[in-house]
Structure 1
Amino acid sequence: MMIDRLREYVGHETPTGDAQALNAFADRLLDRYAELGGTARRVAAPTGDHVVADFPGRGPLAAEAPLLFIGHHDTVWPIGQLREVMPWREQDGLLHGPGVFDMKGGLVVLEAALEQIADRDHRPVRVVVVADEEVGSPTARELVAAESSGVVAAFGFESPLPNGDLKTARRGSSRVRIEVTGREAHAALEPSRGVSAIDELIDQLIAVRALVSSYDDVLCNVGTITGGGRTNVVPGAAAADVGFRFIDPETERAVLDAVTSLEPIRPDAQLQVSVMSNRPAWQPSAATDELLQKVQAAARSVGQEIDGAPASGAADTNLTGWLGIPTLDGLGPRGKGAHAVHEQVIAASLAERASLVAAIITTI
């Protein structure tokens, strides 16, 4: 049943930014959460709608503060990836396909756990599934913050650490766009009249690298570069998107302040630096350590052992952790290959994770 559901979800491709595909998948989630006894609603966004669902508690804990479960239904893969490059495949206990690990497997785990606790006592559950996580959740940040109000703890359904352990902290993550406007001119007849936007951009990126090298443990990746068009024209426009990762808010603020304060090097060049998305660093805390201990006890009640450790990647749980809410991530199934063509999950871990999540809901 879980494998069938996952195959169905993988078969509905949902690239980030494809509002039509994402909204159609949101319809599936709305129907599914209603079937499971929740009150579900969509939150409109121009690049794809988010989904929020509330499941009432049962028994003595029915009036207690809810648990917050966070997921996303967008993937990094374009429409056609399933047909052309990464067909659904079941082999040697592994399930392959676009989004199977990041993170439609996590959505299936959550649904199965909600089925399992239907007749058991538990506190209320709130679910938030966002549509733009893969680009930093620019339209979902305020939603996640708002729905975090009053919860007792937050859990993410992203993939776990390679050994199956949960994530207890995450680096901060920011996407920055550097845009340069120069002046076009004929590259041979009047080169001195031109101002090369590409040359300016290259020098700015070198300056960014020098800045980052002065800090410990800051990761920097130039993900995209665009500009120019012809070799006989001095390019008048160029841009780069740069990703940064930080372990603490102080370094994050210092680096972003410095990057957004960059000035043009060439006369007549124009420079614009914009922070496209930002996820604050989620640092280790005593509250999260205490939550992990409760989850470990829940895991033992279903015959499992689990631990936790900080992770490098960022997700929506960065925000809940930064807000001071006890937070853990990595409740999705075990596997590997997020954002890679060998993306896969271990089939047996779907049921294992669902059992763990059900134990968490009924014991915390």
Structure 2
Amino acid sequence: MNDTEQAKALVERLAQLTLIESPSLDVAASDKVVDLLAHWWRAAGAQVRTVPTSAGMNLVADIAGDGDPILLVGHSDTVWPVGTLRSDVPWVDDGEVVRGPGVYDMKSGLLVMLAAAERLRGRSHRAFRVVVVCDEEIGSPTTSGLLRECAAGVRAAIGFESPHPDGALKVGRRGSTRVRLAVTGRASHAALDPEGGVSAIDELVDQLRMLRTVVADPNLVSEVLCNVGTIRGGGRANVVPADAEAEIGLRFVDPATEAQVLSAIRSLQPIRNGARLQVDLLSHRPAWRASDADEELLYALSAAATGIGQHIEGRPAAGAGDTNLLGSLGVPTVDGFGPRGGGAHAVDEHILTSSLLERVALLEAFLSGK
């Protein structure tokens, strides 16, 4: 096939995946996506197994080859609810640009892996393993164990999330942690018995002020991003509120700062007599600071790119993903191997078809050892 024919075939497959709307925690939708992927991977010569979790279905595909395998990492869930195709983000293919919910983040990346595997069939190449999880967009709460299992014995890992806007790979990513801080107080009439109550909302406000002090500590190794994303509590202005809670998003650059801040949050103590605090870790992606081994993997990918007339670079990224776990485990890791485009989690989500073919060619070259 020439480039035009190959691009058309890939976009046709991308349409099939995109038209299965697969928001996180939609078990039936993830089953459909994995059924389709499993069919394609078996046809490409892979040993395929499917792994159910409470959040949906996951896929692991092994392709035999030389040496310890390279782990290729992706996810099937999107941030878009069912019905998005009929409203805010319809499927559009105008040749060079393809639009639709999840095309950039990251169903196109799943097809880069598959198309490279098909090109390599019958040729000498490195062994590789594919894992596609169903719940990455919500922090992989049910699949971190599967990721660890799939990473055992691999020589390196490549994530197929979207790249930097200029196509650069992601080497190192901020850690991402979601924490719920819940306060239990004691209800009372705000006018008739104000002293008999313990305001959970007042306690929560003061605890959030303490949290600001923790994350702004000048002795921390690196900056912490802290966002109080939601607050809930109380019911009526004439009742001292007995319950309040906040969900907090934290981003870390390095593991030492991450450990220090999370320890401090877990150690928060009530200020008011009668108030109780509970800290729940909702999701946790560890900080991944690029290592020498990560840089060596980037260098090998750059050399493969040069060999086929491409140029590739890499640098750290702010957003977190499944490669945070793999990189933090010491597995040589890069991310951002999906095609160029834009609009992740936005109504202008799209990919560039030409970049899809470029990524397939680069992965083929790297896995073949060119």
- TM > 0.5: yes
**1:130 partnered with 2:138:** no
Equivalent in the alignment of 2:255: 249
**1:36 partnered with 2:44:** yes
TM-score by length of 2: 0.92
Against the structure 1 CA distance between its residues 359 and 41, is the aligned structure 2 distance closer, same or farther, given a 3 Å change threshold?
Answer: same
**1:18 partnered with 2:26:** yes
Mapped to 1, the partners of 2:153 and 2:48 lie a distance apart of: 18
**1:303 partnered with 2:309:** yes
Against the structure 1 CA distance between its residues 92 and 147, is the aligned structure 2 distance closer, same or farther, given a 3 Å change threshold?
Answer: closer
Mapped to 2, the partners of 1:225 and 1:18 lie a distance apart of: 26
TM-score by length of 1: 0.93
**1:101 partnered with 2:90:** no
Mapped to 1, the partners of 2:263 and 2:285 lie a distance apart of: 15
Gaps of 5+ in 2: 1-8
Equivalent position SS for 1:174: strand
Identity %: 52
Equivalent position SS for 1:206: helix
Equivalent position SS for 1:44: strand
**1:334 partnered with 2:350:** no
Equivalent in the alignment of 1:4: 12
Tell me how far 1:356 sits from its aligned partner. Answer: 1.0
Mapped to 2, the partners of 1:269 and 1:23 lie a distance apart of: 45
Tell me how far 1:92 sits from its aligned partner. Answer: 7.1
Mapped to 2, the partners of 1:27 and 1:235 lie a distance apart of: 49
Equivalent in the alignment of 2:210: 207
Moved more, 123-132 or 192-201: 192-201
Mapped to 1, the partners of 2:362 and 2:32 lie a distance apart of: 29
Equivalent position SS for 1:20: helix
Tell me how far 1:47 sits from its aligned partner. Answer: 1.4
* Equivalent in 90, 96, 114 of residue 93 of structure 2: 90
Equivalent in the alignment of 2:366: 360
Equivalent position SS for 2:48: strand
Tell me how far 1:339 sits from its aligned partner. Answer: 1.6
Equivalent in the alignment of 2:4: none
Equivalent position SS for 1:124: strand
Equivalent in the alignment of 1:149: 152
Mapped to 2, the partners of 1:242 and 1:266 lie a distance apart of: 22
Equivalent in the alignment of 2:117: 114
Equivalent position SS for 1:183: coil
Mapped to 2, the partners of 1:92 and 1:195 lie a distance apart of: 62
Against the structure 1 CA distance between its residues 292 and 90, is the aligned structure 2 distance closer, same or farther, given a 3 Å change threshold?
Answer: same
Mapped to 2, the partners of 1:238 and 1:28 lie a distance apart of: 44
Between the two proteins, the alignment pairs up a number of residues equal to 359
Equivalent in the alignment of 1:173: 176
Gaps of 5+ in 1: none
**1:194 partnered with 2:197:** yes
Deviations 1:176-233 (A, max 9, x none): 1111122233444444433322222222222111211114311112222222334443
Moved more, 203-212 or 228-237: 228-237
